[in-house]
Amino acid sequence: MDVTKAVQTQRTIRAFKPEAVPEVTIREVIELAKLAPSNGNTQPWHIVVVSGDAKEQLKAAIRKEIEEGIKPYPVFPPGGSGLKGVYKDRQRACGFKYYASMDVDRADGPGREALMMRNYDFFGAPHAAFLSYPGTMNRANAIDMGIFLQNLLLLFVERGIQGCPQGALATYPGPVKELLPIPEENAILCGLSFGYPNYDAQINSAKMTREPFDNFADIVSTLTT
């Protein structure tokens, strides 16, 4: 698979086949993803992949906090917060398309909430990864994390694996940091549930579109004065 095909094939997948990804494959992908460029070669990324019983224990610990009524407490403000204008519009359109694909009415608060809660079930994926970097680093260093994440996604696609990047998995960092080997100084930026995709699942039916080139790009070679 060439890079163009990988970019075209990669999309957010929220239902998976039960088979685990071999550990050797996960290790290979992470080894390759680390070739990502980073500011000053600081390589700020840290990743933990959790599977099997450990994943179930973590899931239970997060669920316990939610059931106790603890509100989300991410270290970094969530990507979906504070949006305005066209960005808010796109977020809403994305949400409505997703709900509609699951036959959940936009006015159905509990239905939407139930769908949202699937984030904390890792969408049934056999694996969940947690990406963190030092909480004292600034926003520019998050670029390094994004490139690392995209490397993971594309390398996975090349191996028939897909996933769902999840800001939601940064919202209850307590159990994650308590149970998983994550450096003390690190803050969780996002999670990534992954496995072999079940393309037939209803939850994977919505396909998100992208804006036309002219709405976000310019190529300038002459300036008018």
Considering the rule CB under 6 A, would residue 168 count as an interface residue with ligand FMN? yes
Stretch that binds ligand FMN, among 62-70, 133-141, 166-174, 175-183 (CB under 6 A): 166-174
Smallest distance, ligand FMN to C-beta of residue 83, A: 13
Burial (CB < 10 A; 0-12, 13-18, 19+), residue 216, is: exposed
Provide the mask over 122-161, with x wherever binding to ligand FMN is found by CB under 6 A and - wherever it is not.
Answer: ----------------------------------------
- Contact call for residue 204 and ligand FMN (CB under 6 A): no
Is residue 208 part of the contact set for ligand FMN (CB under 6 A)? Answer: yes
User: What are φ and ψ of residue 176, in 5° steps?
Assistant: -65, -45
The nearer residue to ligand FMN, 23 or 202, going by C-beta atoms, is 202
What type of residue is 116? M
Measured between its terminal Cα atoms, the distance across the chain in Å is 46
Q: For residues 17-52, b (16+ Cβ closer than 10 Å) or e, as one string?
A: eeeebeeeebeebbeebeebebeeeeebbbbbbbbe
167 binds ligand FMN (CB under 6 A): yes
* Residue 163 backbone phi and psi in degrees, to 5: -160, 180
Interface residue list for ligand FMN (CB under 6 A) = 11-12, 79, 94, 119, 164-168, 190, 208
